A and B are shown apart, each in its own frame.
Chain A
């Protein structure tokens, strides 16, 4: 191999290595990209809209239409809590504001840090489900055996496509005490 070729090879090798490093970065870029794709509703999920508060706006209430909103509560494994909603479901008119209470109780003798993760089904409805106030926006701290009543205020945007008659909103509480302590 003559020296010219050696230099050429080294340069090409470096260029390819740069592509490889860039692709490592691309792997990480898939994380925010995923949220973007979710917003396009091409892949998945309700993440982007589900965890941010939306300011209360006055919608025209569509009294001719009923949407059944179901509330579902779950606990992840080894989350020693009691968690339930005030009512299993609520019939609402789009554009009408409602507040619904959730109950949670720490069953342990220790302070607990827990977080409620929302999820919608059908996932596409998450965009139309606007929360003004929710316990799910941040981590909740529970004193030993503390019982909490946590309100969630929401509206179903009247722009919800007509095929949707039922929206299921699920909250799963995760015990994050260990991670919170380590952090």
Chain B
């Protein structure tokens, strides 16, 4: 019943062209939390109302005519087929309306374009299929992947109701201070992606080899969610964006703890087999599953299967080297810490869900670096 009520509410709101106050879903554009996003919202409403009024006038005339000028009502057809005055009027009026729309639009466009004088810069790199954030000049640099619960749910094809922020949640959100002008520099490491958080009011493409800029200044602390909006391959639908805006003090603390965590030496002590497998499953879900799939079957023609793969099931040392070096087809996973690498290797060789059963394990200390990652 609730659904039906919502539906009626929605339809009647739609008919009136009003904004819905309903929390579950929106009918109208989000107003957002920045000055620019408010300006964009106002422009949107302006044009929407212009369209509504023109629509009422045109369709009103049309429906009046359809009702009164029917043959079945005995209406006799007139025979006029031109009227220069009318034609000039309905060319000039739209022109005036367009000019009136173009003026505020130009202002907002110039505001959007003014990237200079920012307080801080964040480099955003789109990758298949996650985002990479680098806070320029601070050393904070991390990847932001779809959160594990959403990842698992969509891979399993299980029911997503009850998954918090299904497909709109990440493991490590982008954190920004409120009230500061933040400049974003976008690029991509592979195909074209596009970074969109509706509450900030814009999206920008991330092109491989090139940089693009945009800026924002968030007024209100909060969590704002968005998604990749340029088709970027198989998992385009699964690389969301989460921005958390916090007060400067909280932000400074966040930078401190993030840096500390980032520079922490990984714990290389031996782990139990269960622990290795559990950690390995998490690493696999974040880094491997997009291509090799949840059941290790790969994607025929695109990505090889791990299930029964000779490379996975043969000697450990070549496998470590392979994962660290990468190939022209597979990225290097030197970015994984030794404990993560050990866990994921143990996992892919032994996970029943991947159909492999070598029966061994590898401990973090046994990982020898192929080369140093400075």
A7 to B205 CA separation, bound complex (whole angstroms): 53
- Chain A contributes a number of interface residues (CB within 8 A of B) equal to 30
B136 and A76 contacting across the interface, CB-CB below 8 Å = no
- The B-contacting residues of A in range 49-103, CB under 8 angstroms, are 70, 72, 74-78, 80, 82, 88-89
B211 and A76 contacting across the interface, CB-CB below 8 Å = no
- The A-contacting residues of B in range 102-133, CB under 8 angstroms, are 115-118, 121, 123, 125, 127-128
User: A77-B190, A88-B137, A107-B371 are known contacts. Are A165 and B123 too (CB-CB below 8 A)?
Assistant: no
A107 to B331 CA separation, bound complex (whole angstroms): 13
Residues of chain B lying within 8 A (CB to CB) of residue A70: 121, 136
Chain B residue nearest to A105 in the complex (CB)? B374
Cross-chain contact of B331 among A77, A108, A168 (Cβ < 8 A): A77
Chain A residue nearest to B189 in the complex (CB)? A77
Chain B residue nearest to A169 in the complex (CB)? B211
Cross-chain contact of B136 among A75, A80, A88, A117 (Cβ < 8 A): A88
- The A-contacting residues of B in range 327-374, CB under 8 angstroms, are 327-332, 334, 371, 373-374
Chain B residue nearest to A172 in the complex (CB)? B209
A97 to chain B, nearest CB (A): 24
> From DSSP, what is the main secondary structure of chain B's interface residues?
loop
Check: B212 CB closer than 8 A to any chain A CB.
yes
B142 to chain A, nearest CB (A): 16
Residues of chain A lying within 8 A (CB to CB) of residue B187: 72, 74, 119, 170, 172
A164 to chain B, nearest CB (A): 7
A76 and B209 contacting across the interface, CB-CB below 8 Å = yes
Residues of B within 8 A of A (CB): 115-118, 121, 123, 125, 127-128, 136-137, 185, 187, 189-190, 208-213, 325-332, 334, 371, 373-374
Known: A107-B334, A172-B208. 5 other contacts (CB 8 A): A78-B326, A119-B211, A121-B213, A174-B209, A175-B328
Q: Can you list 24 A-B contacts (CB < 8 A)?
A: A70-B121, A72-B123, A72-B185, A72-B187, A74-B125, A76-B208, A78-B326, A78-B327, A78-B329, A78-B330, A89-B136, A89-B137, A117-B209, A120-B211, A121-B115, A121-B213, A122-B115, A145-B371, A166-B118, A168-B211, A170-B187, A170-B211, A172-B208, A178-B328
Residues of A within 8 A of B (CB): 45, 70, 72, 74-78, 80, 82, 88-89, 107-108, 117, 119-122, 145, 163-166, 168, 170, 172, 174-175, 178
